[in-house]
Structure 1
Amino acid sequence: MIGESKTYATKLTLENRTKIKLLIYGMLSAAGFSYLVLPEYAGISVPVFAVLQLICLWFVVPDKKRLWRYIPIFILSLNAVLSENNIWRGWNLLVSIFLYGFMFSDLNGRFFPNLFGTTIAPFRHFSKPFRWIIEANKQKAPVIKRVLAALCITVPVLILLLVLLSSADMVFGTGISNFTQKAFHSISFYAVWKIALGLLAGFYLFGMVCHSYSERNMAALSAKPAKQGDTLILNILLFAIAAVYTIFAVVQFRYLFAEQTLPYGLTYTEYARKGFFELLFLTGINIFIILLTVHFTKHKTGPAAKTIRALCVYLCAMTLVLLASSFYRMWLYNEDDGLTRLRFLVFGFLIFEGVGLLATFYYIIKPKFDIIAVYLGIGLAYYLVLNLVPMDYFVAKSQVDMYLEGRRKGVEYALTLSSDAAPQIARLIHTDAKEQAETYFERQNKRYAHLPKRWQRFNFSSEACRKIGLNNRTEQ
């Protein structure tokens, strides 16, 4: 009996320590999110918050082997200090939420249901801090409930009383009105909003870690026999599709890649512009057909199954031709009109889609791995690269190069880019576009003029832009 009592006491002490650690983690997360992530134009403070999160997670996460999955979250946080292009800020927050869910999800056959369930699970734990506080003060719990009930009754009564008395007496009403106006103006609603968002983030992160301690008694799913496809139907379908793509490939090699004279008076730029997104859409359709076919025939053997695999390989090769055609069309269009943000994103997407097609080739031959997980990994890698590469710098370089070479009349698009483009815009200072370039630097500097200088806002891109602007004014 004595041994059992000691074991129970030890277990109770460990549970209390865990609760205290989780509560401290939640409070630190709330304060850190408000102070480091939410300030306007937050820069270096965002990766600082990410590092502090990793340190805190090391002390509270039960399974520390999962923490390697935190690496993508940290990489996303670097965007705030390396680039001033804000198009990824909102998306990074959303992606980070799912990456937190990925960090605490089980990597098994039910990955997507687990990921979605883990992402929304923290909301179920929002009430736990209050329950723990009440449990820790069981003797005072009835008193606390009575005080809360009294406040719920008293506050509406006081509001009604003040309204009626203000209407009954003008002097009293004026005094109450002046008091409420002063109180209203003294409150910073932006600060209140930041605190509220910080608390929400703190509760969410607390709930995420708390969920990792919860017992997950998931019933094992009985393996269902995989459905088998009709090899005759699939062979006819794939053969017909392959025949059409063969004719299309001949046209591509004859006119686009071999640069023969185009019919109907088309120029290569006009030819390249038309059909790009349709081809991109078709590559997605082809990959879907291939994956579906392999899924329904991967357990089949015999000549018909081998023919299906051969046709899938051929269709994958034709998809690679479509991808090459799309890339070349975009390249011709870019040579004529210069790089833009959208074209930059498309080039990157096509490159990573090509990597995905190579994985698809291997999957057709040996369908023994989760190809969807591979696609997700490639997609995440693409998104992480976009966060680290200064897109506006390369876009501005393309636009300015074409302007200086006389292939472009203006640089209006380049002047709309973020301060990442500042080193390239500086090349225009000694050209006919000098006034436009000076206006660009003045506009960039005015963005921060109304904000107090704080260490949280440090950003390498904006700092470089500021120095370039100062050097230009000094030279004048």
Structure 2
Amino acid sequence: MSLDPDRSAAASGRVLVAVTVVAVAAAVLVPVELSGIGLALAWTAVLVAVFTCTPGRPGWGQISTAVGIVAVTSVPGWRSAEWLTPWYLPLAAVTTGALMVGARSIRELVFAAISPVVLLIPAVRWTGRGVPAARAARRITHPLRAVGVGLLTIGLVLVFGALFAGADATFASLLGDLTPRIGDVDVSWHLVVALVVGVFTLLGCFILQAHPQLAARPTRVPGQTWTWAVPTGTVLVLYLAFLATQARAMFGGDDYVQRTSGLTYAEYARSGFWQLFAVTILTILTVTIGWHHADRSTSRGRILVRVILGGLCLSALAVVASALSRMDLYMDAFGATRLRITVLATEWWLGAVLIALLIAGAGVGTRHLARVVGVLTIGAALAFAAYNPDAQVARINVDRYLAGAPGAPRIDVGYLSNLSPDATDQLLRLPEPLRSCAVRDIAAQARTDRGWTGFDLARDHAVRSLRDTPITPAEGVVCPGP
């Protein structure tokens, strides 16, 4: 692995300026809550800086990937469900790393994920070599004059800023949001953001300019057929036995399940979902490893691969269908939660990945498989955000309550009140006093002023929806439990 291929290369002055500007911009733009349009603006600044400070023009593939990254980071700008951010930011970071290294395989994708760790020291050395040259090229001949210009600029900003703030309350609020409070945690937060984003931008510039390369992959020596066919074939037999059992349970219905397992159909669905979820993930890993070790140089080998590994993928798709059916029954019986909705969406994504594996193994090839999986992942993330999980959780539970679903005469208002403002419209369908119990905390959350960088469309919509809705004070109503 060549992490610093040209030890004489150095960061240009343009790189140093771009990194500094982006770090300062991110410190201003990224809100403490990690929710709002500021995230997308900061990430866009990083991408623009990286492409600006590197030679050559980005290709259409790089541009489309960058658009996908910005779309992912824009989710906190139109969804107020903050629990999505810890999933979406790592996805954006890994995708950005893949964009920088030009990842085209799983191996290069892994390298992109760990590049901030393995490339940090080479990037710092590269920057260190560039600082003296940049300083020499831009030596200040009159330092006292420079200090005077700086003080004059600060004075003008203070005077005009104070006058504008006194003339307009909105502008005064904006200045208050942009100005860190000395002694408050906000200062530390802005410094940390500036450091992290600055290092991230520096790594991107280093990768695109220095082109660190992975060592060439050694020539693949396929193993003997039985070494991969026996274990994967055995798993396929287990799959077929399981699917046969599933078919009997599916067609036999609740009576058959109660006779054979002693469980109701809903309890039966709940008892096996997580195992099927794990089986799907393990199958993808098994197929990937089996494909790597199989000998596909002969017609007989290719047929065997397609029969066994293709059979595993098809069987796994059937398991995905079973898991989706179980979760649907599960939510009909017990209601929806964030976890259940999320795992349901993950199953759909795993099913799409299995289909991609099937298509690749059918003869299309695996050359672009990593990119296809990346596109599927970004598409699934955006589709999940568009699906509006918090609103769907509220809708399903409110529908069950209003329909008087068997076993659901009551509703867990405590859980629903902890949802984000995304769920406001659905919760407003509840009758009083349940409505006030469900939306009281959400209304307070939506009306909290987070500044312009923390603005998101869902929160703004919730405020407008609640404007004409009377909410009974907490001391005026007793909220029922689940």
- Report TM bin, short chain: 0.7 to 0.9
Q: Displacement, 1:277? A: 1.3
Which residue of structure 2 lines up, in the alignment, with residue 229 of structure 1?
A: 224
Secondary structure class of the residue paired with 1:366: helix
Which residue of structure 2 lines up, in the alignment, with residue 414 of structure 1?
A: 416
The answer as to whether partners of 1:242 and 1:311 remain within 8 angstroms in 2 is yes
Which residue of structure 2 lines up, in the alignment, with residue 170 of structure 1?
A: none
Residue 97, structure 1, aligned to residue 93, structure 2: yes
1:76-124 superposed Cα distances (whole Å, 9 cap, x missing partner): 2221111111112233333333222112103356514641464332554
Distance 1:388 1:446 in 2: 24
Which residue of structure 2 lines up, in the alignment, with residue 283 of structure 1?
A: 280
Which residue of structure 2 lines up, in the alignment, with residue 46 of structure 1?
A: 39
Distance 2:228 2:130 in 1: 60
Letter in 1 for 2:55: P
Distance 2:212 2:335 in 1: 56
Letter in 1 for 2:270: R
Task: Tell which deviates more after alignment, 381-390 or 353-362.
Answer: 381-390
Q: 2:294 aligns with which of 293, 297, 301?
A: 297
1:211-222 correspondence to structure 2 within 5 Å: 211-212=206-207, 214-216=209-211, 218=213, 221=216
Letter in 1 for 2:357: T
Q: Displacement, 1:308? A: 4.8
Distance 2:34 2:358 in 1: 44
Instruction: Name stretches of at least 5 consecutive residues in structure 2 with no aligned partner.
Output: 1-8, 140-180, 474-482
Secondary structure class of the residue paired with 1:275: helix
The answer as to whether partners of 2:19 and 2:49 remain within 8 angstroms in 1 is no
Which residue of structure 1 lines up, in the alignment, with residue 79 of structure 2?
A: 83
Which residue of structure 1 lines up, in the alignment, with residue 112 of structure 2?
A: 115
Q: Displacement, 1:275? A: 1.4
Q: Relative to 1, partners in 2 of residues 1:445 and 1:210: Cα closer, same or farther, differing over 3 Å?
A: same
The answer as to whether partners of 2:225 and 2:295 remain within 8 angstroms in 1 is no
Which residue of structure 2 lines up, in the alignment, with residue 447 of structure 1?
A: 445
1:16-47 superposed Cα distances (whole Å, 9 cap, x missing partner): 9x833223322221122111113446423333
Which residue of structure 2 lines up, in the alignment, with residue 198 of structure 1?
A: 193
Distance 2:453 2:397 in 1: 32
Distance 1:382 1:359 in 2: 14
How many residue pairs get aligned? The number is 411
1:17-28 correspondence to structure 2 within 5 Å: 19-28=12-21
Q: Relative to 1, partners in 2 of residues 1:379 and 1:27: Cα closer, same or farther, differing over 3 Å?
A: same
Which residue of structure 2 lines up, in the alignment, with residue 154 of structure 1?
A: none
Letter in 2 for 1:106: G
1:340-379 correspondence to structure 2 within 5 Å: 340-366=337-363, 368-370=365-367, 371-379=369-377
Secondary structure class of the residue paired with 1:427: coil
Which residue of structure 2 lines up, in the alignment, with residue 159 of structure 1?
A: none
Q: Displacement, 1:395? A: 0.9
Q: 2:320 aligns with which of 315, 318, 323?
A: 323
Which structure has the larger Rg?
1
Q: Displacement, 1:366? A: 2.4
Q: Displacement, 1:192? A: 2.3
The answer as to whether partners of 1:269 and 1:332 remain within 8 angstroms in 2 is yes
1:187-207 superposed Cα distances (whole Å, 9 cap, x missing partner): 323232133123303421441
1:408-451 superposed Cα distances (whole Å, 9 cap, x missing partner): 211323222111000011111xx2xx2342244332343366x6
Letter in 1 for 2:380: Y
Distance 1:20 1:334 in 2: 58
Q: Displacement, 1:274? A: 1.4
The answer as to whether partners of 1:126 and 1:203 remain within 8 angstroms in 2 is no
Which residue of structure 1 lines up, in the alignment, with residue 429 of structure 2?
A: 427
Distance 1:421 1:192 in 2: 33
The answer as to whether partners of 1:30 and 1:202 remain within 8 angstroms in 2 is yes
Q: Relative to 1, partners in 2 of residues 1:299 and 1:463: Cα closer, same or farther, differing over 3 Å?
A: same
Q: Displacement, 1:125? A: 3.3
Instruction: Name stretches of at least 5 consecutive residues in structure 1 with no aligned partner.
Output: 1-14, 142-185
Which residue of structure 2 lines up, in the alignment, with residue 176 of structure 1?
A: none
Distance 1:133 1:240 in 2: 61
What percentage of aligned pairs have identical amino acids? 19
TM-score by length of 2: 0.75
CA RMSD of aligned residues (A): 3.4
TM-score by length of 1: 0.75
The answer as to whether partners of 1:73 and 1:96 remain within 8 angstroms in 2 is yes
1:139-197 superposed Cα distances (whole Å, 9 cap, x missing partner): 999xxxxxxxxxxxxxxxxxxxxxxxxxxxxxxxxxxxxxxxxxxxx832323213312
Letter in 1 for 2:65: R
Task: Tell which deviates more after alignment, 119-128 or 79-88.
Answer: 119-128
The answer as to whether partners of 1:123 and 1:204 remain within 8 angstroms in 2 is no
Task: Tell which deviates more after alignment, 130-139 or 244-253.
Answer: 130-139
